[in-house]
Amino acid sequence: MVQKIQPAHINIHQSSDNGRCVLPIVPQTLSDPLSQYALQLLHMRPSESPVDDVLREMEKLAARDGIPIIGPLEGAMIQMLIQLYQTPPRRVLDIGTAIGYSAIWLARGLPPESQITSIEIDPERAEMAQHFISQAGYQDRVRVLVGDVFELLPKIENQFDVILQDVIKHIYFGADSQLSLKLLDLCVEYLVAGGVLLGDNVFCMGEVLHEPSEQVPEQVIGIQAYNDRVASHPQLQSIAIPIRDGLWVSRKRANH
Ligand SMILES: C[S@@+](CC[C@H](N)C(=O)[O-])C[C@H]1O[C@@H](n2cnc3c(N)ncnc32)[C@H](O)[C@@H]1O
């Protein structure tokens, strides 16, 4: 367990009506000046329309309806990371499709022969994802599976070269802090040796800095446990990149 720094600005949101922990949806881009500057620089690059148009439309929809998406800075980061491979990854897994935003960023970083499998538990979101993925022209490369990742992933036979794990959030795992660890085990099992595991929301909007205490909700404890396990995992070499809400970039060691 890493030593926690107790900052003055963080707070845990407790809803008054049912007493359950309510943590906010992480914005697509944080409002700090440097993130805003990085975003402006990103928007200066030549447009890859119509994909950029589709992404902008999705960003607006997500902001309006409170759908959590990784946002443009992290999306571009993920695209860049998978483009850095000398031999492009052939099999990519996107856990937590939502409306297909991260799947589109992944797809635009890959050649047409690569295949993305994306898993989403909410059928309405999965349907919207199919729509946007088709609009972006990636319907032949992205397969959206509807269901619970804990049920669907064990039915898949092959491993993946890259996995984006975007359901580690407190809001999906409720009060069971162990579920994030179970999903980590599953991801490591399904990653080829030398493969890359990406994970969103390392920071949980700063909540991870809380010292363990009875006031810290189980959801936050789950993220802290996930982070500690990723950081010290014998099969992974990992770094937490402080972009937006924090992005885990892990490589599965080749000797495992
Ligand atoms: C943060 S959103 C994903 C955002 C997406 N990666 C993006 O940036 O465009 C997480 C999604 O995971 C889905 N989800 C939550 N628990 C799940 C589970 N057990 N299996 C599959 N999907 C799940 C939620 O419905 C939600 O749409």
What phi-psi label fits residue 206: left (phi over 0), alpha (psi between -120 and 50 degrees) or beta? left
For residue 102 and ligand 1, the question of a CB distance below 6 A is answered with: yes
pLDDT of 217 reads 77
Least confident of 12-26, 54-68, 199-213: 12-26
For residue 107 and ligand 1, the question of a CB distance below 6 A is answered with: no
- Going from the Cα of 93 to the center of ligand 1, the distance in angstroms, rounded, reads 13
Residues 92-106 pLDDT 10s? 999 999 999 999 999
Structural domains of the chain, ranges and CATH numbers in brackets: 33-252 (3.40.50.150)
Q: Where are the beta strands (DSSP E) in the chain?
A: 91-95, 115-120, 142-146, 160-165, 191-200, 236-241, 247-252
Alpha-carbon distance values, 222 to 155, 174, 227, 252 (Å): 25, 9, 9, 22
Residue 56: how many other CB atoms lie within 10 Å: 14
Q: Please tell me which residue, 151 or 256, carries the higher pLDDT value.
A: 151
Residues 193-227 pLDDT 10s? 999 999 999 998 898 998 877 778 777 888 888 99
- Going from the Cα of 1 to the center of ligand 1, the distance in angstroms, rounded, reads 27
pLDDT of 171 reads 63
- Going from the Cα of 57 to the center of ligand 1, the distance in angstroms, rounded, reads 19
* Nearest atom (ligand 1) to Cα of 99: 9
> What percentage of the chain carries pLDDT values higher than 90?
70
For residue 185 and ligand 1, the question of a CB distance below 6 A is answered with: no
- Going from the Cα of 8 to the center of ligand 1, the distance in angstroms, rounded, reads 31
For residue 172 and ligand 1, the question of a CB distance below 6 A is answered with: yes
- Going from the Cα of 97 to the center of ligand 1, the distance in angstroms, rounded, reads 5
Mutation test residue for ligand 1: of 162, 172, 183, the one with most atoms within 8 Å of CB: 172
**Helix/strand/coil percent split, the chain, to 5:** 40, 20, 40
Q: What is the dihedral of CA 55, 165, 8, 218, to 10 degrees?
A: 130
d(CA 191, CA 49): 32
Instruction: Map residue 217 onto helix, strand or coil.
Output: coil
The protein residue with its alpha carbon nearest to ligand 1, atom 19, reads: 148
- Going from the Cα of 121 to the center of ligand 1, the distance in angstroms, rounded, reads 7
The pTM of the full predicted model, rounded to 2 decimals, is: 0.91
Contact status, residue 157 vs residue 125, Cβ threshold 8 Å = no
